[in-house]
Amino acid sequence: LAVVALCAQPFLLAGGMIAARKMKKNHPMAQTCYTNLLLGLVSVIGVAYYDHVDFSFISELNGWSWLLIALAGLFTIFENTAKFMAFRYEEAAKLQKLAFLPNVWNFTIDVFKHTTFGAMQLTGFIALFAFYSFELVRFYYCETQSVE
């Protein structure tokens, strides 16, 4: 089930982006609300129907965990609202170049938390870093050439 969800993630993210672009005329918070309600509902259903997981872990969370959960939720709302506003005022093709930034933030947090990575993860991070470094250099070089 986890592998299916992992393989479906790019398609679901693309569907979410398409839906966000089609909702340009709505209020930014409406789109954020719909997205987060759907994700919350799917998560609750997933936990409820999975055999080896239940909601007992909630009683074991300490204050620091609740603070981090609240901050993650708040930042998710800010991220979704900013993304929705960006789709309203800019072309999607220009914004696509920034799609990797959430992965950079997540990787940075993992590094600060001293998370250990497997060989496949490190290979993926190195490949992404090389690709986006090349894109950055190419973008900068093309911009300076077009100015002259």
Q: What is the pTM of this model?
A: 0.53
What is the average per-residue pLDDT within 28-45? 79
Taking the alpha carbons at both ends of the chain, their separation in whole angstroms is: 54
Q: Could you tell me the two tokens for 7?
A: 């393989």
Q: Quick one: pLDDT at residue 1?
A: 59
Q: What is the mean pLDDT of the chain?
A: 79
The greatest distance separating any two alpha carbons of the chain, rounded to the nearest whole angstrom, comes to 63
When comparing pLDDT for 127 and 10, which is higher?
127
Instruction: Tell me the residue range of the domain where 104 lies.
Output: 100-148
Q: Are residues 79 and 113 in the same domain?
A: no
Q: Are residues 73 and 137 in the same domain?
A: no
User: Residue 146 pLDDT more than 70?
Assistant: no
Q: Are residues 19 and 56 in the same domain?
A: yes
Q: Are residues 112 and 143 in the same domain?
A: yes
What pLDDT, in 10s, does the model give residues 61-113? Answer: 899 889 988 888 888 788 777 877 777 787 777 777 777 777 777 788 888 88
Q: Which amino acid is at 58?
A: I
